[in-house]
Amino acid sequence: MEIKHNIFLLIDSEKGNKKGDYLVEYVISGLILLNVIAIFLESYKSINTKYSTLFYAIEMVSIIVFSIEYLVRIWVADLQYPKLTPTKARLKYIFSFLGVVDLLSILPFYLPFIITIDLRVMRVLRLLRLLRLLKLNRHSKSLQLIGTVLKNTRNDILVTVFMVFILLVLASTLMYNLENEAQPDAFENIGQALWWAVATLTTVGYGDIYPITGLGKLLSGVIALLGIGIVALPTGIISSAYIEEVQKQKEKNKKKRDTYACPKCGEQINT
């Protein structure tokens, strides 16, 4: 039981021994980044041919480490969620976001041994290795902070996304009716007009589809101007919430620095 508790402290950054925690974090994070670099370099045929053995070795080491990490986290889940029964605690971890990410990051390696998979499907499954990048969320304080900000602002962001959706539907429908007769190929249906609306509202302006009628050009200009403000709304919401969360973290850290435990009784003392 003591061994299990010590292992839990190593993988739990909040409760564990700092040196041990940092060592585990650095090893796992380094391996994740190494995998992303390997996936990138494998796309170059000349490099992949020359260093295929090295890439295979990186993959095998990663699978072993990540598999052990996944099994260990299932094993110590009852310590992570002490209020739940061991079975419920393990199920909670398995179906949690990071638990699913941990599983999907190793699943492509094991699936061919379980079921027969078509080569094309296998290529798609190999892309799941990129999910290993999401594992950094557990080991990176910055990513955790961003996750907290997105969680706190999700309602505000959903409102702006809904506004953008309504504007896209209105703009694409209007543009279809304005341009369909003049450009039956470019604006054959509302779906094609929707592509134009996305490119215009985000002010990207690919130029593959554009209006040629006077009313169409007027609508295009209005949508582009609206896009400057509406698309910027989520950025402003997230930026404001991020600054607020950073300030909270600084105040929290300051309180920790200003508080220490009495060496005799262990009681927290404010300086």
Number of H helices and number of E strands within the chain?
A: 14, 2
Residue type, 46: S
Confidence (pTM): 0.65
What pLDDT does 170 receive?
Answer: 92
What pLDDT does 160 receive?
Answer: 86
**Separation of alpha carbons 49 and 27, rounded Å:** 27
pLDDT in tens, 78-98: 888 888 898 999 999 999 888
Q: Are 195 and 213 within 8 A, CB to CB?
A: no
Q: Are 267 and 261 within 8 A, CB to CB?
A: yes
**Separation of alpha carbons 253 and 129, rounded Å:** 35
Here the tokens at position 177 are 């009716």
What pLDDT does 235 receive?
Answer: 81
pLDDT in tens, 147-187: 788 888 888 888 888 888 898 999 999 999 999 988 988 88
Query: Phi and psi dihedrals of 260, rounded to 5?
Result: -140, 160
Here the tokens at position 164 are 């953008």
Q: Partners of 261 in the beta sheet?
A: 268
Cα angle for residues 239, 242, 246 (degrees, 5° grid): 140
Burial class (CB in 10 A: 0-12, 13-18, 19+), 82: exposed
Q: Partners of 270 in the beta sheet?
A: 259
Q: Are 199 and 205 within 8 A, CB to CB?
A: yes
Q: Sketch out the chain's domains with CATH numbers.
A: 2-139 (1.20.120.350), 141-259 (1.10.287.70)
**Separation of alpha carbons 150 and 137, rounded Å:** 13
What DSSP string runs through 63-111?
HHHHHHHHHHHHHTHHHHSTTS-HHHHHHHHHTSHHHHHHHHHHHHHHH
| pLDDT tens, residue order, the chain (271 aa) | 778 877 787 777 555 555 666 777 788 888 888 988 988 898 898 999 999 999 999 999 999 999 998 999 999 898 888 888 989 999 999 998 888 888 888 888 888 888 776 656 666 667 777 777 777 766 666 667 777 888 888 888 888 888 888 989 999 999 999 999 889 888 889 988 999 999 888 888 788 888 999 999 999 899 888 888 887 888 888 888 888 888 887 777 777 666 655 555 555 555 5
Residue type, 193: A
